[in-house]
Amino acid sequence: MSEHQFNAADSESPKESMPEMPGDGAGEPAHMGESHADGGFGDISGDEFLKEMLESEESAGLFGESESGGLPDELEAGGKGAELEAKIAELEAQLAETREQLLRKAADFENFRKRMSQEKQRAIDFANESLLLDIIPIIDDFERAIQSADASAELAELPAGKAMLDGISMIEKRFTGQLESKWGLRRFVSAGEPFDPNFHEAMFMEKSPDVEEPTVMEDFAKGYTLKDRVIRSAKVKVLMPGGREGAES
């Protein structure tokens, strides 16, 4: 084989071994098909390849826009966070106010409960006040009878009179003792005590140089208390200071 023939054979052999690439009939270059095959797009035409490239660029552009638009989203999220914090602060303030109101209501209810309990006990303690006020004049009659018997010399000389006086005194002591121990009715003596309008009712007043302040000289009717409350004031005679100045003038 001549050298010229060998070169011609060599130049023709690649054309025979190269496969014929599909085209669209417009004389498309063969290297376009090769680049598609190497790029993994498969056996597609040039137009389809350009279309896919454009779509990929558009999608990339959209992705870029979404990424660039992340800053407004973050600002919006920050605004919502501040709004939520303000709402939380408002709710906490309302909760604190509600808790304070609840504590006040609880304290008011506790005071109301104590007051009602005291009023109930007071009503129980003084339920018999009217009855006891009706009994006190009877005790006054016992005292007058005993004082009259003690002042009577004739009655004291009689054995029967002495026994009767002792019996009346015994009944009066037992009666008043029962009223005091079971019902809280207590009698108080006022003679010699400073005059107190809360306990005494002045029936007579007399000036005396022997006293420096108003003083009870005599009680005509003893006073009574029920559970430390005065239910009847003592009817008394009061000595007033100033008798010496009146005598000198």
pLDDT of 62 higher than 50: no
Strands 234-241 and 215-221, by their bridges, are antiparallel
70 versus 169: the higher-pLDDT residue is 169
Whole-prediction pTM: 0.53
Question: Coil, strand, or helix at residue 29?
Answer: coil
Question: Terminus-to-terminus CA distance in the chain, angstroms?
Answer: 184
The CA distances from residue 235 to 179, 189, 206, 216, in Å, are 21, 11, 15, 10
221: left (phi over 0), alpha (psi -120 to 50) or beta: beta
Q: How confident is the model at residue 227 (pLDDT cuts 50, 70, 90)?
A: confident
Give yes or no for residue 198 having a pLDDT over 60. yes
User: In terms of pLDDT, which residue wins out, 149 or 50?
Assistant: 149
Give the pairing type, strands 185-188 and 223-226.
Answer: antiparallel
Q: Give residue-wise pLDDT tens across range 129-142.
A: 889 999 999 999 99
pLDDT class of 100 with cuts at 50, 70, 90 = very high
- Give residue 25's pLDDT: 43
What pLDDT does 244 receive? 56
Q: Which two tokens stand for residue 147?
A: 């004082």
Bigger pLDDT: 40 vs 82: 82
- Residue 56: pLDDT band (50, 70, 90) is low
Tell me the mean pLDDT in the region 173-199. 91
Mean pLDDT in residue range 118-132: 87
Nearest alpha carbon to residue 206 among 239, 235, 236: 239
Alpha helix (H) ranges present in 70-184? 70-125, 129-151, 153-157, 159-183
For residue 178, what pLDDT is reported? 92
Give 158's DSSP letter. Answer: S
- Whether 190 has a pLDDT exceeding 50, the answer reads yes
- For residue 69, what pLDDT is reported? 47
Note the pLDDT tens digit of each residue in 5-54.
Answer: 444 444 444 444 444 444 444 444 444 444 444 444 455 566 676 677 66
Residue 219 makes CB contacts below 8 A (sequence gap 6+) with: 189, 190, 191, 234, 235, 236, 237
